[in-house]
Structure 1
């Protein structure tokens, strides 16, 4: 399996680089493949340098980081809850983050881009409160978290919180409504250099802990009596990993908007490629999540010449049928 993982890591690394370059190249103003490297090394025209450094490069880096964060968040939620349908978008974590961002945006009454570093923290607090409520309502004394119940309650929270966002927006001004509508559709609005620095620390803190806890995650996917017998403190480990999952998802969606299904699809694809051991599939899921989000955004920007389709809508077109397939299988 390790040999298989190395093979897929090599394939996905090549695919990641190709997708990254394609995302930089394509758009309303294109930069040809042959001009990307010269432009990166300062040998491009003013137009090429502006498109690359001011428009495309920060956007694509944000997309790749957000895709990684959502993929790992989904993998954690699926393992901790032992439910293949768990995803930060489906079970209401993204909607919880959205309510926090909506309230913050309507409260500050100014350009939200000035708060690039604050937004992930605002989204995290709001999403964490949502996760705590979902955890509370899906927990049964003596039985722990009920996987099916958690998904159903999470879906209920997602719809409820989305409705709350609509209520908040209904009394807002036109410009404020436009921003929230774009966020809900998964329009990548935080596509500038400060937003890279806003999301990167959350990944740098969260990912090492996740990989360190890979063995614990393997055990958590087993039955509760088995996990307890192997010396795992279930409540403590679950809470830590849920907090990390919420933090990664909140940091991503605070910048990209309400992107769903990446956290659902990426772990499943990774497991199919290299198996269910976390040491093997988590690195694969990182690449898959990143590639999926970059491809979705590139399709959204190029499918219609006159306007861009939000990446969240493209992801939903891909992810919704996959969710239905998993629902029927389970």
Structure 2
């Protein structure tokens, strides 16, 4: 049973985070190489701006902001699910190799399977999902033991090993490619948000419209999986089946996000932890908060990164890593 005071706190936090995201979105719309005056943002949104203002806002800024918010939410939810099914606070799609698996598949698809530009944005998430699911299955098999089931710390260590190996494979794949294609892969690895156009939003949105409600629906199952396996089985939960379904959900969320944002790690690590510290360990309460925190963190990183060094800026993945890597070390020492 969730206490009314706890539920009220969650709603208040969700409201505050929504306001912060709206304020940051407004700031992000105005800042950049081609800036827009603050008092011109609302008129431009209402169709009363100049050609330059409307072009900058609707063709450059808004698609990037929306992609960043959606990807941040997907990565945060993916991390929360992985932490729940493994009972390991260090689990994250970037750390345990899922992002790297998606990256290798995307690199192979981009380099060796030429496809029309109009279809590229829709096939890319599918390629990322295929690579991520193969990687996650292999990691799961290596970390699983018949006697003791899934070993949480072993899963993290195996995932880190796979991540390093896949990074080496990425270097081998790109070593003989053309310069312009290598540049794209390099930016992807650094976490440079590149899918900044409306077709990428329409490619990403269907995944999230299905997966986010499904994950929220499964929040109670995540709470049960956090208990001892014998207890979970005793209350009627098919542990392995639920783990597999939720693992596929987490993989699909991460793969769809990184296919348009690049290899961004640590969002899935930090957002669930912050949410748990604010509203407690119950997934029915902390998953919505983690989603909002993930969106805010990635948008903040991207806004800072693209305005620190103009015109190219610093990839959002690097900004997130500067914060997330020390946080990961702190958690590792604490656990």
Q: TM-score, normalised by structure 1?
A: 0.98
TM-aligned CA distance change 1:177 to 1:198, over 3 Å: same
Q: Secondary structure at the match of 1:117?
A: helix
- Residue in 2 aligned with 1:165? 170
Q: 1:140 aligns with which of 131, 142, 145?
A: 145
Deviation at 1:31, TM superposition (A): 1.2
Which runs of structure 2 are paired with 1:195-210 in the superposition (5 Å)?
195-210=200-215
1:90-109 → structure 2 map (5 Å cutoff): 90-109=95-114
Report deviation, 1:7.
Answer: 1.2
User: Could you tell me which of 233, 237, 245 is aligned with 2:238?
Assistant: 233
Instruction: Please name the residue that 2:183 is paired with.
Output: 178
Does the Cα contact within 8 Å between 1:96 and 1:158 map onto a contact in 2?
Answer: yes
How far, CA to CA, are the matches of 1:239 and 1:2 in structure 2?
Answer: 30
Cα shift at 1:110: 6.0
Aligned partner of 2:195 in structure 1 is 190
Q: Secondary structure at the match of 1:188?
A: coil
In structure 2, C-alpha distance between the alignment counterparts of 1:30 and 1:148, rounded to whole Å: 47
The aligned residue for residue 22 of structure 2 is: 17
- Structure 2 residues without counterparts, runs of 5 or longer: 1-5
Alignment of 1:1-330 (within 5 A): 1-109=6-114, 114-330=119-335
Number of residues of Structure 1 aligned to a counterpart in Structure 2: 330
Structure 1 pair 101–145 and aligned structure 2 pair: CA distance change class (3 A): same
**Structure 1 CA distance, aligned partners of 2:26 and 2:263?**
25
Please say if residues 186 and 258 of structure 1, whose CA atoms lie closer than 8 Å, have aligned partners that are also in contact.
yes
Structure 1, unpaired ranges of 5+: none
Deviates more, 1:164-173 or 1:297-306: 297-306
Q: Partners of 1:192 and 1:306 in 2: how far apart?
A: 18
Other structure's SS at 1:133 match: helix
Q: In the alignment, what sits opposite 2:3?
A: none
Deviation at 1:306, TM superposition (A): 4.3
Other structure's SS at 2:293 match: helix
Output the CA distance in 2 between the equivalents of 1:101 and 1:27.
Answer: 29
CA distance in 1, matches of 2:111, 2:142: 29
SS of corresponding position for 2:122: coil
- Alpha-carbon distance in structure 1 between the residues aligned to 2:287 and 2:334: 23
- Residue 32 of structure 1 deviates from its aligned partner by 2.2
Further displaced range: 202-211 or 303-312: 303-312
RMSD: 1.1
1:5-53 C-alpha deviation (Å, 9 max, x unpaired): 0110111010010111111111111112221111011101111000000
Task: Assess if the C-alpha contact under 8 Å between 1:24 and 1:57 holds in 2.
Answer: yes
CA distance in 2, matches of 1:292, 1:199: 19
Report how far residue 108 of structure 1 moved.
2.5
Q: Distance in 2 between matches of 1:23 and 1:262?
A: 19
> TM-score, with normalisation over the residues of structure 2?
0.97
Contact 1:99 1:126 in 2 (8 A): yes
Whole-Å Cα distance in 1 between the matches of residues 62 and 311 of structure 2?
Answer: 22
Rate the CA distance shift 1:110–1:206 in 2: closer, same or farther, 3 A.
closer
SS in 2 for 1:314: helix
8 Å CA contact retained: 1:95, 1:161: yes
